[in-house]
Structure 1
């Protein structure tokens, strides 16, 4: 499609009042959902009373709009290009008038489903729609009676929907259960070999675990209360309980999450995903490889899997439609799962792929922290990453081999890229911040703490990509508040001797297992089993806090213990277990794949992860890690 025609298409879209002020990113997403249709003169486009499933943009020709009356068909108006019609029918789910081609017409059809997705993702668009419709109704009424046009009024207030509330009875009950655990057992004699202080620290940790399971309040609030309880009861100093907020890993996570938020907000991830789609053949198989490959490329650049998946999931849903795949077909599921696997599955292969990875770094002894920087981490995890890449791709093609697809996806991607236009200043600044963060962590020449690179990347973003409001909105502050206390768990355990007690018990339990390789396998199974009851983040952190410090006594490296936990606790089989899975499913309102297909794919990926660990064991032994 020539650039001139693409410009005309964008102008058509922005000619709709409630799309006029869309960002380039949102406009590009909508352009990707447009479907070209043609009608000869005299053809009925939509009948009054029929389902209102789309908005139409008129690229060429004219359309007559009419309604039925007791005296027959009553003509309302003629809409000529460039114009639009069908907005009321789309909002009301039924056509309020009939439309007929007055001449040969070329239309671009925007499905109602895609419009609803935009409103869910950008609630402010809903207010813009309401204001635009009210303005249009007022204009038509005044035109009908010959009244003058009013002066432009003020913009409507921004309204926010109140989030759903948890039943107060359930909240009280679950809170009582959590509080009862330490109260009931506080004065009981500790197990043999454990100090009274260590016992009480463990009791409060058990209460927090119950809180993460029952969720009377948000997980980050549970973590903060746990640290506060340790300090308030005098078990550890306040500086130790909240020391995680002053760690290098927390500051790197702050910079990394800021970079991730900026890449998502500016559209860099979306732009990069489109570029990858253009590099591969415009077929189902080609686009699957593009999604998986693009995810591997972006995982180390955006250290937040939820942000990556939130960006790619709508792209994958639109791509499946462009390829002509029916809802929940093998092809549709393959495209959706390729985006999910590519942008989530490799989160622990790269140090900067997941902020939780820095919890493991903080738990490592000082010498191992230096060894397992960005390149050291990737070097140790590389065999597992290769197996995950081959295994995930094979699972998609074997379980959901896509049907042959019609041509057309290349044109859709090209239209979206054209609407995005050249790199904006904010995108260029964000690229500099990415280079500072990743380049600083990788380079071997300047020996400074990793925290400096995180803070420097944040400073670069604030210089040109994020203002104060976007800074607040782009960072997952709840995760950082959750991460801070968890980063200090290792120091708390060492301060009260809990790490030594756990190590002694684990050594006693595994005395009959002389091969460290067997211990690694058992650890993977335990991590997987923990996901039955715990969300992924608490499961990963609790197991790492318990196992990583004790790993040398078991004959394995703390890094190996941690990476096995990260790999096996961040999976799903049942739908409720996977946040990124649910995000992908909801991006298409459940139309891309069924939960049965999702369960099958989740089980396959879990097997792939386990095989990746088994395949890495000889390599880790050669490195002296087991």
Structure 2
């Protein structure tokens, strides 16, 4: 009887899953049609409404998992082009973004590091420097990520290299994929590399974008040191409370500790470095050094990433099979489509319309309590990010919108830009954060953790980030940013 019941149960589960997908597909289409047909607000066009309708439909399909995420993303961009909402070049403009090529190069380097065994050697070395417990290894990853952040201004490049390393650490500790322990290791890696970059001016290209949005006289006052000092209270809060949150949210079901003899044995088993390991080490170190010093020589990080990939391909460290299977091409497709959203919204003037709609409702709060204002501003941005996928677009809208109002109230516009920057970094839905996508797919091809696990980390970060901003306010009054 048990044998005959198994197929029936399996069919039942499959049919329920299929019904869920069908319901999601229908709801997405209906909601999209509704958005397109409710009328055209002042400042938008019919095409803009259809553009948003397609995007809303895609969001519902991603939530319901109607198709794999990259398939839905490709259908979204195709719909924008097929229905002549925007030209084809705009609909798929994300694939002309230099970051896509940087990601391909970085994914290629990660594949080479993993294939040649260098990743295992590095992970064993670092594991030996910290306590061999869950607490020790999460701390090791957070310290490593934080120290590397100001050295490489490309968050995606750093994450693409270290995400597979985090997966190797988790595997070496014996945590099965998608368990609490694996989730904690991933969370420590991403919190330090994907969330803490606003602490350093050189931590992200978007930091320089924030500075560029400020008035000229304010720009001249922002240096690497002043940025770091003013961001330090927020950074310390996020690092300390974030680490405690990881220990609480991802406490392993079973505490595991590796014996030091095991690490020694594994390092001995590796033997001396192979030619491939040495070659990859040289390419990786040179690539990281050139990325770190991009401000000095001006060579674009994307060019260096592709050159490094070519060097690895030319030396056959990455052979044809590794090139096809070692790089997460489905992730590349998904991220490229997500990058296109910003260009589509800009072409349809949706970005500017959102700023005009939100402005009258958000700005009056600035004249009241600054603590309440910053908390509300973060919450508003969290909500906006469900609709507006482009992080830089959100930073631009809110920084430019609030700068004149901040100056009027005796508040440095840098606070508006910094607050907008830290608030955009959410990943409740995967499409919201390109760096999270790099981390998620870069760590064991998306198999290390499931997205539901990381929603807990996102909510914790959203709360902790607001606390960090509130803690910073008295300090900002001392430094003169708030009069």
TM-score, normalised relative to structure 1: 0.55
CA 1:437–1:520 in structure 2 vs 1: closer, same or farther (change >3 Å)? farther
CA deviation vs aligned residue, 1:478-526 (integer Å, no higher than 9, x gap): 2211111221222222212111110101102213211676554234335
How far apart, in 1, do the equivalents of 2:63 and 2:208 lie?
A: 23
SS in 1 for 2:468: helix
Counterpart check, 1:347 vs 2:193: yes
Aligned residue in 1 for 2:260: 410
Residues 1:550 and 2:409 aligned together: no
CA pair 197-452 structure 1, distance change in 2 beyond 3 A: same
In structure 2, do the counterparts of structure 1 residues 292 and 499 end up closer, same or farther at CA, with 3 Å as the change threshold? closer
Deviation of residue 223 (structure 1)? Answer: 1.6
Query: What's 1:611 paired with?
Result: 467
Report the CA distance between 1:426 and its aligned residue.
Answer: 3.0
Question: 1: CA distance between counterparts of 2:65 and 2:301?
Answer: 34
- Deviation, structure 1 residue 344: 2.4
Distance 1:186 1:406 in 2: 54
Give the Cα separation in 2 of the matches to 1:393 and 1:609.
Answer: 13
Residue 272 in 1 paired to residue 122 in 2? Answer: yes
Contact 2:427 2:455 in 1 (8 A): no
- 1:378-410 CA distance string (max 9 Å, x none): 9586654443333344456789999xx999721
Q: Find the residue that maps to 1:422 and give its secondary structure.
A: coil
Contact 2:32-2:53 within 8 A present in 1 as well: yes
Q: Secondary structure at the match of 2:128?
A: helix
Counterpart Cα distance in 2 of 1:409 and 1:291: 19
Q: 1:610 to 1:414 in 2, by over 3 A?
A: farther
Equivalent pair of 1:528/1:568 in contact (CA under 8 Å): no
**Which residue does the alignment assign to 1:129?**
none
Structure 2 counterparts to residues 320-335 of structure 1, below 5 A: none
Alpha-carbon distance in structure 2 between the residues aligned to 1:490 and 1:527: 16
Relative contact order higher in (CA < 8 Å, ≥ 6 apart): 2
Match of 1:315 among 161, 165, 172: 172
Q: How far off its partner does 1:558 sit?
A: 5.5
- Point out the more displaced range, 177-186 or 296-305: 296-305
Offset of residue 470 of structure 1: 0.9
Deviation at 1:587, TM superposition (A): 9.5
Aligned-residue CA RMSD in angstroms? 4.8
Q: Distance in 1 between matches of 2:96 and 2:304?
A: 15
Matched position secondary structure for 1:179: helix
Change (3 A) 1:417 1:616: farther
For 2:461 and 2:95, the matched residues in 1 are separated by 34
**What's 1:193 paired with?**
43
Equivalent residue number for residue 455 of structure 1? 306
Shift in Å, 1:192: 2.8
Aligned mates of 2:324, 2:480 — CA distance in 1: 43
Does the CA contact (< 8 Å) of 1:274 and 1:417 recur in 2?
A: yes
Q: Tell me, which stretches of 5 or more residues in structure 1 are unaligned? A: 1-163, 320-327, 531-537, 572-576
User: Where does 1:162-177 land on structure 2 (aligned, <5 Å)?
Assistant: 167-177=17-27
* Cα deviation 1:127-167 (Å, max 9, x = unaligned): xxxxxxxxxxxxxxxxxxxxxxxxxxxxxxxxxxxxx8995
1:226 and 1:298, CA in 2 relative to 1: closer, same or farther beyond 3 A?
same
Match of 2:347 in 1: 495
Q: 1:479 aligns with which of 331, 339, 343?
A: 331
Looking at structure 1, the residues matched to 36 and 459 of structure 2 have their Cα atoms a distance apart, in angstroms, of 41
Call closer, same or farther: CA 1:496–1:484 in 2, change over 3 Å. Answer: same
C-alpha distance after superposition, 1:606-626 (max 9, x if no partner)? 644443344456788979899
SS in 1 for 2:281: helix
Report the equivalent of 1:207.
57
Superposition deviation, residue 568 in structure 1 = 7.1
Aligned to 2:420: 561
Matched ranges for 1:90-129 at <5 A: none
- Distance in 1 separating the partners of 2:310 and 2:51: 38
State the 1:447 CA deviation.
1.9
Which protein has the bigger helix share?
Answer: 2
Are the aligned partners of 1:441 and 1:450 in contact in 2 as well (CA < 8 Å)? yes
Structure 1 counterpart SS, 2:273:
coil
Structure index of larger Rg: 1
Alignment pair present for 1:390 and 2:248? no
The correspondence of residues 201-600 of structure 1 with structure 2, limited to 5 A, is 201-280=51-130, 289-294=139-144, 296=146, 302-304=158-160, 307-317=164-174, 339-349=185-195, 361=206, 367=212, 384-395=234-245, 409-443=259-293, 444-464=295-315, 465-514=317-366, 518-526=372-380, 539=386, 542=389, 544=391, 547-551=394-398, 552-555=400-403, 560-566=419-425, 569=428
CA gap of 1:617–1:235, structure 2 versus 1, over 3 A, is farther
Q: Is the 8 A contact 1:540 1:566 kept in 2?
A: no
Alignment length (residue pairs):
418
Greater per-residue strand proportion: 1
Q: 1:363 to 1:293 in 2, by over 3 A?
A: closer
- Aligned to 2:56, the other structure's residue is in SS state helix
Is the contact between residue 269 and residue 298 of structure 1 (CA under 8 Å) also seen in structure 2?
no
1:7-156 map, 5 Å:
none
